[in-house]
Structure formats: structure tokens, C-alpha cells
């Protein structure tokens, strides 16, 4: 299960967290991950993953400004690589040659597959049967803290956005931040959502089956932390291995990333040059470790519950390539290796269809953030944002009601009020404050 999301970044500056964030993720994650999925589809693989694309990201992948700017960004990447390739420094020359090859490949991918936007790519993956596409609310709000009226509107219109872009109606969603409050299951049912994601602790760690929520037939699937943290743990996850490329260290003359992780506590200026020849053996080791752990987990969980169990390994798409340079290669190898050891790979929709569903459960208020509660989005550090968001939403809805009273046509001012309100209450802003990431 992969969840693809970025907040709206177009026309909000470049470095460090404006449009640059979009183009880095596009070049490093979306291009190679989609290439992996196309390769799997071409080789006859089906039902390989549930792939979430948030409406706010889909809009940027289709936006003419973002498309032309992405092309410019790729060309700039290639120019920076050429500058490095003629450096007097041997390590920088090697970096330049390596990055030139990577940028040339990315430009070829973009020119061949992406020049008309992301929607044709996403639609082709849907048609190939290699993915189940998951939708979501319009602008990734933290739903439990949202006025129920705006929450229902955001979900309904987010699903409508998927239909308008891809002529496809998602049966499932990745709920933003896996956030839940009791009663939302009925809103999901009313909107036509049949399954959604929560974090494992929401189901008390019992993630071996999906669970209908309350008195509805809406199924919650829980992320298996035992498996997912094999990759994602900041302390012991695979991306932190010394041989992999370091995400945080830049060569500031070229903006390229020259170093390997080297060690967890090694300062950036002491990290050693990245050496691709070190990667293959480490990558194969991590593929085998993950595949073996998934198989053992499935066997143990099936024995525990007395019936075939499932394991949901869930990650942000941007982990693969953007944060973890070698991630797309790892993903490709894992998906091809799992069937070889007897593991059936599938989607959430396929799990539901094939009966991997247990008894109903009453879900608590929860998220996948720190503490598995809401503290990241409503804790002491962001109370000013919680209050501000409530005031913005109340003012916006009151104003829209007044403007639309008796109106017979669409009102562009009302549209813009709602649009900017949704952008304001995105979950990303309090997350960035709580985590001190900007």
C-alpha cells in the first residue's frame, strides 16, 4: 500500500519547500515508481498494490504550470550534472557523470510518458490491473478536527475529482494521516467508500484481517507495524544503512547529493562519497530480509487466528526514491520475489473480495502520528492553528451561505473561498510545526 501526497506547492516559491519539493518528489519517486509498475504490468503482474493519489497531488501532476516547470527542473538537473562532470575534483566528476545519466533517463521518461500530465499515466495503471487506485478528500485535511459539513463536502468532492480525472470511482481511500473519529464510518458509507486505512494500534495491533466498523459494511484495514517498521523505522529501517545514498547531505555548488549515509551519527562534512557498487549486495540482503519477515509473519498470524491472514505493508510513496534513493529498486525486487516464496501479493479491494475480513469493531479516535492519537495536529504547539482553522471555517461557511442564498448559478467567489479554506486546513501545516520540519 502506497500513499502519494504533497500539499499545494505551485506558485509558492521554490527552495526549500516550495515547488522544488514537488519536482524532487516527481523526479525521484513518481517517475521511477510508475516505471516499476509499468514494468510489472508488462510482465503480466496484476493486483500488486493499492496506490493512493490525493486530489491535491493529482491536480499538480496535471497542472500546465507544474508540467512546464517540471520539464525546466529536469533540464536544470542535467545542466548541474554537466557542471559537476567537468570539475577538477575527482569525486565531483564521478557524481556529475552519474547524475547526468540519471537526469537523462528521467527526461526520457517525462517526455515519453508525462508530458500530458499524470492522469493518462494513472488511468493506464488502472486499466492494466496492476493497481487498485485509492482516492481521498480534496486537500488532505485532518478530518476529525474539521467541521462535519466541510468534512463531508471534502470527501464527496475528492471522490468526484477522481471520477472527473480518471473516469474511475475509488472504492477505498487512504484517510489523511489515517485519522479517525467515531461516526466517520457512516460518512464513508454515505459517500460510497467501502474500505479505508488506519494504523495498527487502532485495531490494538490485530491487523491480520480487515474489520467492518460499527454497524456499517465499511472495512478498516490496519497497517502492520511489525512489517512496515522494517523499512520505515528511523532507528533501524533499511534506508539508514551506511551504503545507501544520504538524503540530507548536499554538494552546495551543484545541489546534487554526493554522499552515502556512512554512519548514523557521522556529520555531513565527514560522510564518504556515494558508491553505487556497494549497493547491490545490501539491497538484495534487505529484500530477502523483508520477504522472509513477511512470510514468517503471515504464517504466525494465520496460526494465531486459525485461518489465512493478511499483512498490510503501508508507506508514503515519496519514501521510495525521494527519501530513499534505492527504494524503487527495492520495491521492484520485493514485488517480484514475494510470489517466489509462496506469498500472494494483492490489493485492499482484493483482500476484501477474497474474504480477509473479520468481526466488526468499534474504532477509537486515532491517527498514525506520534502517540497514535491527534497530538501532532491538536497538541499544545499547534493550538493557535486549531483555533485559527475553526475561525476560518466558520467564517467561510457563513459567507458562502449568504452568497449562495437563492443563487441559481455557480458563484466563483464562493468557489474560491471554499478552495482557500480547504488549503488552509490541510493537515500538512500543523504537522510541519509539530515536527519542526520547516
Indicate which residues carry an active-site annotation: 177, 316
3-state helix, strand, coil in the chain (%, to 5): 55, 10, 35
CA-to-CA distance for 187 and 328, rounded, in angstroms?
Answer: 35
C-alpha cell at 346: 494483492
For residue 104, what are the CA distances in angstroms to 75, 80, 108, 224, 435? 9, 12, 6, 38, 35
CA-to-CA distance for 158 and 138, rounded, in angstroms?
Answer: 4
DSSP letter assigned to residue 177: G
CA-to-CA distance for 173 and 52, rounded, in angstroms?
Answer: 7
CA-to-CA distance for 319 and 315, rounded, in angstroms?
Answer: 7
Largest interatomic CA distance in the chain? 71
Residues in Cβ contact with 77 at an 8 Å cutoff, skipping those fewer than 6 apart: 27, 99, 103, 106
3-class secondary-structure state, position 296: helix
For residue 244, what are the CA distances in angstroms to 14, 96, 173? 27, 18, 32
3-class secondary-structure state, position 151: helix
C-alpha cell at 425: 486546513
CB-CB contact of 126 with 136 (8 Å): no
Which one, of 70, 117, 76, lies nearest residue 99 by Cα? 76
3-class secondary-structure state, position 147: coil
CA-to-CA distance for 297 and 315, rounded, in angstroms?
Answer: 18
CA-to-CA distance for 320 and 9, rounded, in angstroms?
Answer: 20
Which one, of 130, 122, 136, lies nearest residue 167 by Cα? 122
- In terms of Cβ atoms closer than 10 Å to its own Cβ (0-12, 13-18, 19+), residue 129 is middle
Amino acid at each position: 500500500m502506497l500513499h502519494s501526497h504533497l500539499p499545494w506547492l505551485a506558485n509558492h516559491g521554490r527552495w526549500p519547500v516550495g515547488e522544488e519539493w514537488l519536482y524532487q518528489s516527481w523526479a525521484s519517486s513518481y517517475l521511477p515508481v510508475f516505471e516499476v509498475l509499468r514494468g510489472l504490468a508488462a510482465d503480466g503482474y496484476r493486483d500488486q498494490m493499492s496506490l493512493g493519489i490525493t486530489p491535491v497531488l493529482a491536480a499538480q501532476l496535471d497542472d500546465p504550470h507544474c508540467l512546464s516547470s517540471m520539464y525546466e527542473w529536469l533540464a536544470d538537473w542535467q545542466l548541474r550534472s554537466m557542471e559537476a562532470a567537468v570539475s577538477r575534483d575527482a569525486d565531483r566528476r564521478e557524481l556529475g557523470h552519474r547524475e547526468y545519466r540519471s537526469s537523462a533517463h528521467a527526461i526520457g521518461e517525462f517526455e515519453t510518458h508525462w508530458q500530458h500530465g499524470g492522469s493518462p499515466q494513472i488511468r493506464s495503471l488502472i486499466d492494466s490491473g496492476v493497481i487498485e487506485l485509492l482516492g481521498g478528500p480534496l486537500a488532505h485535511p485532518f478530518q476529525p478536527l474539521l467541521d462535519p459539513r466541510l468534512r463531508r463536502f471534502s470527501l464527496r468532492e475528492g471522490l468526484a475529482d477522481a471520477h472527473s480525472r480518471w473516469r474511475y470511482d475509488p472504492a477505498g481511500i487512504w484517510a489523511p494521516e489515517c485519522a479517525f473519529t467515531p461516526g466517520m464510518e457512516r460518512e464513508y458509507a454515505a459517500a460510497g467508500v467501502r474500505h479505508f486505512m488506519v494504523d495498527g494500534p487502532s485495531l490494538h495491533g490485530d491487523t491480520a484481517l480487515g474489520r467492518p466498523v460499527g454497524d456499517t459494511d465499511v472495512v478498516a484495514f490496519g497497517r502492520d507495524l511489525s512489517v512496515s517498521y522494517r523499512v520505515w523505522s528511523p532507528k533501524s529501517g533499511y534506508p539508514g544503512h551506511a551504503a545507501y545514498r544520504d538524503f540530507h547531505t548536499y554538494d552546495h555548488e551543484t545541489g546534487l547529493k554526493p554522499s552515502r549515509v556512512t554512519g548514523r551519527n557521522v556529520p555531513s562534512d565527514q560522510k564518504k562519497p556515494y558508491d553505487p557498487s556497494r549497493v547491490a549486495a545490501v539491497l538484495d540482503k534487505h529484500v530477502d530480509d523483508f520477504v522472509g519477515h513477511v512470510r514468517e509473519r503471515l504464517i504466525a498470524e494465520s496460526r494465531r487466528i486459525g485461518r489465512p491472514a493478511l499483512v498490510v505493508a503501508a508507506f508514503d510513496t515519496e519514501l521510495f526514491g525521494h527519501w530513499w534513493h534505492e527504494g524503487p529498486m527495492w520495491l521492484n525486487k520485493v514485488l517480484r520475489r514475494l510470489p517466489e516464496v509462496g506469498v500472494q501479493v494483492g490489493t485492499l479491494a482484493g483482500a476484501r473480495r477474497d474474504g480477509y475480513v473479520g468481526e466488526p469493531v468499534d474504532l477509537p479516535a486515532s491517527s498514525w502520528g506520534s502517540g497514535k492519537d491527534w497530538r501532532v495536529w491538536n497538541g499544545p504547539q499547534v493550538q493557535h492553528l486549531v483555533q485559527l482553522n475553526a475561525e476560518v471555517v466558520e467564517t467561510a461557511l457563513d459567507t458562502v451561505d449568504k452568497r449562495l442564498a437563492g443563487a441559481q448559478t455557480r458563484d466563483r467567489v464562493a468557489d474560491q473561498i471554499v478552495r482557500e479554506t480547504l488549503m488552509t486546513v490541510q493537515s500538512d501545516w500543523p504537522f510541519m510545526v509539530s515536527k519542526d520540519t520547516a
